[in-house]
Amino acid sequence: MNGQNQIGHQQAPIVSVKEWLLTNLILMIPLVNIVMMLVWAFGSNTNPNKANYFKAALILFVIVMVIYLVLAVVFFGSVAANQYQ
């Protein structure tokens, strides 16, 4: 039965430790990291495991940025309100 499930099903190659290290080195470069995350998340030649990882990372990035934006608006709004009292 196990052989029947694998017929017609292709598995993605395993991402090596060397490739993950290179990926992390590239992600340490400012601005390049955001561009490369988009390329790896939505590129057609990217390993599906790597693409899913970077899609999740981009979703978390957007969530964190929205939280920071809300906190900044609340903080600066309260500072501005206190100056006019």
Please count the other Cβ atoms lying within 10 Å of the Cβ belonging to residue 34. 13
Instruction: State the 10-residue block means of pLDDT for the chain, 85 residues long.
Output: 63 93 97 96 95 97 97 93 80
Task: Please report the pLDDT score of residue 6 as a whole number.
Answer: 60
What is the reported pLDDT for 39?
97
The amino acid that residue 83 corresponds to is Q
- Return d(Cα 56, Cα 73) in angstroms, integer: 26
pLDDT at 84: 77
Measured distance CA(82)–CA(78) in Å, rounded: 6
